[in-house]
Amino acid sequence: MTEWPDPTRFVVDALGPDARDVVEVGCGDGTLAHRLRTAGHRVVAIDPVAPDEPGFICDRFETWDPPAPVHAVVAVMVLHHADDLGGWLDRWCGWLRPGGLVIVADYGWDLDAGASDAWAAEHADLHRFAPMRAALDARLAQVRFERLDGPGESAAVPLAFRYVGRVPAGAAAPSATG
C-alpha cells in the first residue's frame, strides 16, 4: 500500500541553508522538528501533543507568537484541519521576516475521483484541495508546488501535495521587526 511520502527532504531543500529560524506548526511527535535541527535549523515546534522537551510548545498555535520573526513556517498534514483557513495562514505569514517562506505538505482527500460516498463523508470535515490552494495563492508567491501519490481509497493517486510560498516583500506583519 502507498504510504504518505516523507516530507523531510522536500522541507530541507525548501528551507535551504539561509532559513535558520523555523516554526513548525502541528509537529505531532516532533520527528520532523528533530530532523530539521539535525540539518542545522533552529526550530520551535508547537502542537498540543508536542513532546515535553526544550524547543517544543504543547499548545495550539493561535494564542502564541514566536519571540522574533522567523525565516519559515512549516506545516505537515495540518492545514486540512484548519477551522479558519485564511486566519491560520494570515497568522503564519505574520510571523515571517520579509520574504519568509510558508512550507506546506498536505493532502486533498477530494482528489481521489474514484472514491466512494463513504470516503467523502468520512473526510467531510476536512478542507478540500482547491480552497487550501486558493488560500495559499492569495497570500503567497509560489516558489514550488508538486503533487505525489498518496493513499486514496480507490487507488494510490496524487492526493499529496507540497507547496512552498514566499510572503511578498513588505507584506509581513507590523510586528515583524527582525
Ligand X SMILES: C[S@@+](CC[C@H](N)C(=O)[O-])C[C@H]1O[C@@H](n2cnc3c(N)ncnc32)[C@H](O)[C@@H]1O
- Which positions touch ligand X (CB under 6 A)? 25-28, 46-49, 60-62, 76-78, 81
Q: Strand, helix or coil at 102? A: strand
Please name the amino acid found at residue 28: G
Least distance (Å) between residue 48 CB and ligand X? 5
Inter-axis angle of helices 31-38 and 8-15, nearest 10 = 40
Give the other-Cβ count within 10 Å of 63's Cβ. Answer: 6
Specify the residue, 62 or 137, whose C-beta has the smaller distance to ligand X. 62
Specify the residue, 77 or 171, whose C-beta has the smaller distance to ligand X. 77
Please name the amino acid found at residue 74: V
Least distance (Å) between residue 169 CB and ligand X? 27
Q: Are 42 and 21 contacting, i.e. CB atoms less than 8 angstroms apart?
A: yes
Least distance (Å) between residue 47 CB and ligand X? 4
What is the H or E stretch that residue 72 is in?
Answer: strand 70-76
Least distance (Å) between residue 30 CB and ligand X? 9
Specify the residue, 146 or 168, whose C-beta has the smaller distance to ligand X. 146
C-alpha cell at 34: 528533530
Specify the residue, 53 or 62, whose C-beta has the smaller distance to ligand X. 62
